[in-house]
Amino acid sequence: MAIVVKNTNYNGEVLEKILTVASTGNEFVDKGLIYVIPGVEKKMSLPRIKSGKMLQKRKENPQIEDSKGNFNYSEKSLDPVDFMAFTVFNPRAFEHIWRKWQPKGNLVFAELPPEAQNVLLEELTKQVKFELGDHYINGEFGNDDDHLMNGILTQAAKDSEVIVVSSDETTMIGKLKAVRRMIPKPMRNNPNLRIIMSVDDFDKYDDELTEREAKNASETDVNSKRYKGITIETLAAWPDDLIVVSLCSPDANGNFFAAVNLQDDEDVIQIDKIANASELYFFKLLMKADTNIAFGEEFVVLDTRENPVFKSAERTISVDDGTVTIAPEGGTEEVAVTASGEYSISASPAGFTVKGTDDGISITAEANTTGKAKTGIITLTLDADKSKKVDITVTQNIPEE
């Protein structure tokens, strides 16, 4: 990615460092918990696909109506928004520090030396890194300088598929036990599974382990950052009393994503005088960024803050008609589905084809030439709560003679 610096005496020694920090330099990224996708100028989609059950009894001559399984496609988006870093300073204020660059006659810093720029840029990157770390986690997009972008927690709070844990436990061990119980079984042994909590919360957990009589670290050591084999990650910007379990990876195998772009490759970092006659210099760094989660059902959260953002909601799924009859000569019937979140469709019954629609599902059958009535059951299961199901009975009679 090209970077243009507006100062002709600048040698560009730290540009690669600035690029790295601007796009990926914060704690969330440094620990490999989020996948950062660079070069996203406007918007990109996170495609998601789920399939129903595919296996069935062997048939010597399978027909179209024997098709089993569905592919359900949906997507989320990353929409990077613009923000910047801009600061003005007078280099003469530092002349007592940079003595080796002081001329012996003319005014100091007639031109800002590259070495001096590096020192100031080093400090700028530290601050950008610190602020980005907070925005990636807690950010909310708004109209002022404190609301630059939506962070992971803000995006997750919008997802109706998130698994919210309810617990009255006050100890960290009790909270972790309640959270682990709600982790979907297919995720339990995933090597990317992580527990994320604040530094203070881990300190409480560490103290609880130390106070136990045996098998834990002494007061001079820190206990392992694990619970029941799951690695615990602590983040300085993470809120207290909030525990999240999800899949974390610096590649597409995780559940957290970020998109960044350094403003269409134009004048990304500007270092120059405010005006030709001015002694003041400015640094300007333009950025774009956004975050999101891919699957809410892979995000397990226990929010015990005084004003929790993640609250348990009733999980429901229903259909407008649980009995569907298709004409003997064949046809398609639509069934409207009302659900509190995304749901999975069971395998199509023999002789029927089931597909998801914007409003529910469609059931299709060819003309019934089997010589007997066909019937089957289609089950819709709420992804966020597998115990919430609804059955649809579908029937197709034989043609009248």
Query: Are 23 and 126 members of one domain?
Result: yes
Between the CA atoms of 261, 267, 269 and 270, what dihedral angle is there, to the nearest 10 degrees? -160
- Residues 339, 285, single domain; the answer is no
Give phi and psi for 201, each to the nearest 5: -65, -40
pLDDT for the residue 197: 96
Residues 336 and 238 in one domain: no
Give the CATH number for residue 169. 3.90.1690
Same domain (yes/no): 168, 256? yes
Q: Are residues 111 and 218 in the same domain?
A: yes
DSSP characters over 308-369: -SS------EEES-SEEEE-TT-EEEEEEEEESS-EEE-PPPTT-EEEE-SSEEEEEE----
Cα 354 from Cα 374, distance rounded (Å): 15
CA distance 290 to 129: 15
26 and 173 co-located in one domain: yes
Given the structure tokens 């999240």, which residue do they identify?
A: 244
- CA dist list (Å): 103 to 9, 90, 92, 99, 100: 17, 17, 12, 9, 8
Q: Quick check: 378 and 364 in contact, CB under 8 A?
A: no
Q: What is the pLDDT of residues 167-185, one digit of tens each?
A: 889 999 999 999 999 999 8
What does the alpha-carbon distance between residue 137 and residue 306 come to, in Å, rounded to a whole number? 19
Q: Tally the domains of the chain.
A: 2
First to last CA, the chain: 73
Nearest CA to 348 among 67, 109, 40?
A: 67
- Residue 302, pLDDT score: 96
- Residue 8 confidence (pLDDT): 39
**CA dihedral of 190, 163, 134, 5, whole degrees rounded to 10:** 60
Parallel, antiparallel or unpaired: strands 256-261 and 242-247: unpaired
Of 281, 303, 325, the residue at which a domain comes to its end is 303
Domain of 370, CATH number, reads 2.60.40.10
The label of the residue with tokens 């300085």 reads 236
Domain membership of residue 237 as a residue range: 15-43+79-303
Question: What pLDDT is stored for residue 112 in this prediction?
Answer: 58
One domain for residues 163 and 193 = yes
What is residue 242's predicted lDDT score, i.e. its pLDDT?
96
Note the pLDDT of residue 9.
Answer: 39
Q: Which H/E stretch holds residue 197?
A: strand 193-198
Q: How far is CA 136 from the centre of its chain?
A: 10
- pLDDT number for residue 69: 65
Q: What is the pTM of this model?
A: 0.70
User: Residue 386: inside a domain, yes or no?
Assistant: yes
Instruction: Name the helix (H) or strand (E) containing 66.
Output: none
Alpha helices in 99-229 (DSSP H): 114-138, 152-157, 172-181, 199-211
Cβ neighbours around 334 below 10 Å, total? 13
Per-residue pLDDT of the chain (401 residues; tens, 9 = 90+): 233 344 433 444 444 454 444 444 578 888 889 998 887 877 777 766 666 667 777 777 777 666 666 666 666 888 888 888 888 877 766 666 556 555 444 444 445 566 666 667 777 777 777 788 889 999 999 898 889 999 999 999 998 889 999 888 999 999 999 999 999 988 999 999 999 999 999 999 999 998 876 666 677 788 889 999 999 999 989 999 999 999 999 998 899 999 887 544 334 567 777 888 787 878 887 788 899 998 888 999 999 999 999 987 778 899 998 999 999 898 999 999 998 878 888 888 888 888 888 889 999 988 888 888 899 999 998 887 788 899 999 999 888 76
Closest C-alpha to 17, from 119, 142, 112, 158:
119
Within-domain flag for 225:
yes
Q: Are residues 330 and 237 in the same domain?
A: no
